[in-house]
Amino acid sequence: MFSRQRSPNTLPAGVDWVSEDIGPYMQRVCAKPGKDIWLMGGGEIIASFLDARAIDEFVVSVAPVFIGDGLPLIARRHRHTPLELIASQRFEDGLVQNHYRVGR
């Protein structure tokens, strides 16, 4: 969990509290054996991971509803992040899930 606040006294098993820069933390994590890392967060944390070149792929789900307003997926400084479509899947409820590779 990335936060600017102080770590709580107890955390669930398998949860790290991270307040350091993303780049050095991700270098340590990626040096360990394992598979994929799943990131959920707001536009600022996603942009910070993009700054550190720590995102390889995005999975973006599109719900078939126009809401007319909302929050950006990433912070404005990354308005032109090239993506390459890897796969697209349509579900019965109309949801479409697009899987992209981040361009460099």
pTM: 0.76
- Cβ burial 84-98 (10 Å sphere, 16+ → b, else e): eeeeeeeeeeeeeee
Element (H, E) at 92: none
Task: State the architecture of 22-102 in CATH terms.
Answer: 3-Layer(aba) Sandwich (3.40)
pLDDT at 10: 82
- In the chain, domain spans: 22-102
Regions in the chain scoring below 70 on pLDDT: 78
At 30, give phi and psi (nearest 5°): -70, -20
